[in-house]
Structure 1
Amino acid sequence: MPTVSVKWQKEVFPSVEIDTSQPPLVFKCQLYALTGVPPERQKIMVKGGLLKDDADWATLGVKEGQKLMMMGTADEIVKAPEKGPVFMEDLPEEEQVVAVGHSAGLYNLGNTCYMNSTLQCLHSVPELKSALLSYTNSGRNNELDQYSHLLTVATRDLFGELDRNVRPVAPLQFLSILRKKYPQFAQQHNGGYMQQDAEECWTQLMYTLSQSLRSSDSSEASATVKALFGVGLVNRVYCAESSEESFENESVYALKCHISQDINHLHEGLRRGLKSELEKMSTSLGRSAVFSKESCISELPRYLTVQFVRFFWKRESNQKAKILRKVDYPLELDVYEFCSDELRQKLQTPRQTLRELENVKLGLKVEDKKKEHEVNMPTSEGSSNDSSEPSSMALDKAVSSEDKGQLTGIYDLVAVLTHKGRSADSGHYVAWVKQENGKWIQYDDDNPIPQREEDITKLSGGGDWHMAYICVYKARVV
């Protein structure tokens, strides 16, 4: 095993052993350890030229004590980082919120899960948070009572705390004012506060915000809550006995999904919820008569709230009983079939534009999806028949400033409020909220838990597990 010296740049490495039983590549690896020059960059001068990785040492005639010359550039030395690792708990609270990807949970202050879950769902609506931020402590109008004003301020401040913190927040101020404004939430039993209905809390808070987030100075602000959550309905009231017929407009903040033995899906429950019977005075008959009421949507919101009517008053036990039946609901909800003819007409062009944009993202040809009349979405007049490929310029025109932000009647699920238990006045409420990054978080009071999207639609009922009570869908716009 001969020993040689190797000269590289200004350095000389004496007594480098060569194992002639191994290929020259092994020798180059030895030099890599000494010089930092990778084998593929090494140029070593030997008899007959440059040393090759697979050469035969016996033919090279390397002698004991021979001096070899090597050329090549060493790898750059990896520098130590200027700043050491920073642990999440050492970051400022605001940066921790960004790093975690979700806001804080809410402490349960004694049977307040109904309130916590309601707040977490509404907190997921950025437009509502923006409207609250513009509401000042002195912004109370003359028609607004003091506690409505204070409850709005408390909601604004609490949403701000949730956005700034990773650790759980105690909603003491909000709860105190909520109970003063709506004393039913202060009911006690055996010395402790009672569990309440989350839907009632949702409805009361929504009503308060619809009253407070109004300003005579700004027509835009006056319509904030209605534009975000308000559903316009046109009702046809008809009496088969007297042939009386009338139409009336109505505005609600949620659609009802009625549940019975033949309801298996949200669409079926919504269809049932838009039809009802009522008894009222008939001017033609001069007495009470049964009228049929059929409703259809005349105005759509940015956020569509759906309430599953799971609770009913049970006379025998004198309490609210729960319907446990499984009712499936989708991640994507299309309410086109529930809309009035006039609204359907308005939705046709935006829906066609949306489909074309989605086809472009999927790499599909627009012509492959031209059977739009089957789903009440006729081809837009501006589409070209000369080319099977969609024109990006044409689509950009379709989403012009004139059409930007148009509703399509298609909604994506962004929040679910669930209830676990047999009665509305007992059990446990939890919020499941989709974050801006697309991930779902289960807010079980002060404990936020990441969830998979495919598990969200499994909260459909059929047992004693968490089941959807309120769903919030966000409008897909073009």
Structure 2
Amino acid sequence: MPTVSVKWQKEVFPAVEIDTSQPPLVFKCQLYDLTGVPPERQKIMVKGGLLKDDADWSTIGLKEGQKLMMMGTADEVLKAPEKAIVFMEDLPEAEQAVAVGHTAGLYNLGNTCYMNSTIQCLHSVPELKSALTKYPGRTNELDQTTHLLTVATRELFNDLDRSVQPVSPVRFLGELRKKYPQFAQMHNGTYMQQDAEECWTQLMYTLSQSLTVSDSRENIKAVKELFGVDLVSRVHCAESGEESSEAESVYQLKCHISHEVNHLHEGLKHGLKTELEKVSPSLGRTAVYTKESRINDLPRYLTVQFVRFFWKRESSQKAKILRKVDYPLELDVYDLCSDELRKKLEGPRQVLRDEEGKKLGLKPSDKNSGSKDTDVKMNDAEGASNGSGETSNATSQEGKFGKLFICNRPKCENRI
């Protein structure tokens, strides 16, 4: 193979070998390694003009020791980063938790997983943490145990925010057991397992009491706006023809599980239709009434309980249902809402449909563009205080409509 010298700017590279069995592009790649000038920017002067990438070496008349002239601008030399790159997996465990936004865990103080899961779920709600921070303290309307449990909740949330190491919820557990002795039940010298849903319900009741007596306008209905579900119900008796309507507010929807329920949505439908017995004024005796409920207002955070217990009459004890129930990452409860709420939701739902359609390259629909009744602004739907039911799509992703909490950690019982 012949050798040549190449002059580039003020530098000369002697004894550069050329493999004439390969096209000139290979030679240019060699020069790229030496000079940093990419092949597409190289202009090499040879007999007859510039050296082309696919030229035939035999027609160029290359001689041993010939000097070639190259012109071209080299790529910018990469500089080493001023600060060394540290990969996530190389960080200490505590720093990894901070980097990815994970909060500290909670120590299990003896069958307290029901309490820990409830606390971690509530701790993920920034609006609740803000309301607790603004809690002014005990007033004459509050009993001492409610006040102390609220303060313990606030302090535990603060500990979780400040620490990356597991936190021991000793004070909170003590105040919880003082307020609700059922969580202090013992069996053979050991604290018994309890139901996460019961812990959630009791804590919701406590916070709804303490965070609604504040003079601060933001705290007047903090818990209700965040978690409250307004229901309207039709109660009727097929036997007597009596019919009445009721309104109530709850902090969770119940997914009743039976052999026919395979999906969360089916369980919620079952939970909104119940039968009850009460005295009928027209019949003068007890009769069976059917209660059919519809959602009339939705919160920012929708809580759903999987009702996995039923009472076994033959053994007079609770049994746990182990049937698998699927649930989606995004839950649409539009068909479970009242007619009034559906009207308010139609505008925001159309906006979402149009946005999804844009992603698929579809044109926005003008179906409701001229309707004043359904022209609801998105910011109206996102505010919990205006009763517009922003969470028709209660999801596990914050920032779209709402967030879905699933309560599925009951205490251990007999299973079927």
Identify the residue that residue 389 of structure 2 maps to in structure 1: 407
CA distance in 1, matches of 2:59, 2:94: 70
Name the SS of the counterpart of 1:257 in structure 2.
strand
Match of 2:231 among 209, 230, 233: 233
Identify the residue that residue 57 of structure 1 maps to in structure 2: 57
Match of 1:272 among 270, 289, 292: 270
* Cα drift, residue 318 of structure 1: 4.8
Flag the 1:14–1:382 CA change in 2: closer, same or farther, 3 A.
same
* Cα drift, residue 179 of structure 1: 1.8
* Cα drift, residue 241 of structure 1: 5.3
1:81 maps to 2:71: no
In structure 2, runs of 5+ residues without a counterpart are 397-403
Question: Amino acid of the residue matched to residue 145 of structure 1?
Answer: D
2:297–2:389 CA contact under 8 A, matched in 1: no
CA distance in 1, matches of 2:225, 2:133: 17
How many percent of aligned residue pairs carry the same amino acid? 73
CA distance in 1, matches of 2:334, 2:8: 78
Question: Amino acid of the residue matched to residue 411 of structure 2?
Answer: A
CA distance in 1, matches of 2:23, 2:353: 64
* Cα drift, residue 10 of structure 1: 1.7
What is the alpha-carbon root mean square deviation over aligned residues? 3.4
Question: Amino acid of the residue matched to residue 424 of structure 1?
Answer: K
Question: Amino acid of the residue matched to residue 34 of structure 1?
Answer: L
TM-score, with normalisation over the residues of structure 2?
Answer: 0.82
* Cα drift, residue 101 of structure 1: 4.5
1:218 maps to 2:223: no
1:185–1:196 CA contact under 8 A, matched in 2: yes
2:263–2:327 CA contact under 8 A, matched in 1: yes
Which deviations, in whole Å up to 9, do the C-alpha atoms of 1:393-447 show, x marking residues without a partner? xx9x85376666443533224343434xxx83459xxxxxxxxxxxxxxxxxxxx
Identify the residue that residue 99 of structure 1 maps to in structure 2: 99
Question: Amino acid of the residue matched to residue 129 of structure 2?
Answer: K
1:148-163, aligned counterparts within 5 Å? 148-163=146-161
* Cα drift, residue 13 of structure 1: 2.6
Identify the residue that residue 307 of structure 2 maps to in structure 1: 309
Which deviations, in whole Å up to 9, do the C-alpha atoms of 1:246-273 show, x marking residues without a partner? 4332221122233333444434433333
Match of 1:247 among 241, 245, 248: 245
Flag the 1:65–1:28 CA change in 2: closer, same or farther, 3 A.
same
Which deviations, in whole Å up to 9, do the C-alpha atoms of 1:439-478 show, x marking residues without a partner? xxxxxxxxxxxxxxxxxxxxxxxx99xxxxxxxxxxxxxx
Identify the residue that residue 71 of structure 1 maps to in structure 2: 71
* Cα drift, residue 287 of structure 1: 5.1
Flag the 1:20–1:106 CA change in 2: closer, same or farther, 3 A.
same
Count the aligned residue pairs: 403
1:232–1:249 CA contact under 8 A, matched in 2: yes
1:363-382, aligned counterparts within 5 Å? 363-367=361-365, 379-382=368-371
1:10-409, aligned counterparts within 5 Å? 10-88=10-88, 96-97=96-97, 99-135=99-135, 138-239=136-237, 243-284=241-282, 288-314=286-312, 316-367=314-365, 379-382=368-371, 399=377, 405=383, 406-407=388-389, 409=392
* Cα drift, residue 205 of structure 1: 0.9
Question: Amino acid of the residue matched to residue 394 of structure 2?
Answer: Y
Flag the 1:109–1:17 CA change in 2: closer, same or farther, 3 A.
same
CA distance in 1, matches of 2:341, 2:68: 87
CA distance in 1, matches of 2:55, 2:213: 88
Which deviations, in whole Å up to 9, do the C-alpha atoms of 1:158-203 show, x marking residues without a partner? 3344345444333233222222221211222222221111111111
Name the SS of the counterpart of 1:407 in structure 2.
coil
2:344–2:376 CA contact under 8 A, matched in 1: no
Question: Amino acid of the residue matched to residue 389 of structure 2?
Answer: L
Deviates more, 1:182-191 or 1:399-408: 399-408
TM-score, with normalisation over the residues of structure 1?
Answer: 0.73
Deviates more, 1:248-257 or 1:50-59: 50-59
2:38–2:74 CA contact under 8 A, matched in 1: yes
Question: Amino acid of the residue matched to residue 399 of structure 1?
Answer: K
1:427-466, aligned counterparts within 5 Å? none
Flag the 1:226–1:404 CA change in 2: closer, same or farther, 3 A.
closer
Which deviations, in whole Å up to 9, do the C-alpha atoms of 1:293-325 show, x marking residues without a partner? 333333322222222221123355454211223
Identify the residue that residue 460 of structure 1 maps to in structure 2: none
* Cα drift, residue 226 of structure 1: 0.9
Which deviations, in whole Å up to 9, do the C-alpha atoms of 1:341-374 show, x marking residues without a partner? 433444344444443444344432344x95xxxx
2:275–2:288 CA contact under 8 A, matched in 1: yes
Which deviations, in whole Å up to 9, do the C-alpha atoms of 1:29-55 show, x marking residues without a partner? 333333232333222222222223333
Identify the residue that residue 408 of structure 2 maps to in structure 1: 418
Flag the 1:276–1:72 CA change in 2: closer, same or farther, 3 A.
closer
CA distance in 2, matches of 1:61, 1:411: 77
CA distance in 2, matches of 1:360, 1:182: 52
Question: Amino acid of the residue matched to residue 407 of structure 1?
Answer: G
Name the SS of the counterpart of 1:168 in structure 2.
coil
* Cα drift, residue 207 of structure 1: 0.8
| Runs of 4+ off more than 6 Å | 89-95
Question: Amino acid of the residue matched to residue 106 of structure 2?
Answer: L
In structure 1, runs of 5+ residues without a counterpart are 371-378, 384-394, 428-462, 465-478
Name the SS of the counterpart of 2:345 in structure 1.
helix
Question: Amino acid of the residue matched to residue 347 of structure 1?
Answer: L
Question: Amino acid of the residue matched to residue 331 of structure 2?
Answer: L
2:132–2:211 CA contact under 8 A, matched in 1: yes
Flag the 1:18–1:127 CA change in 2: closer, same or farther, 3 A.
same
Name the SS of the counterpart of 1:233 in structure 2.
strand
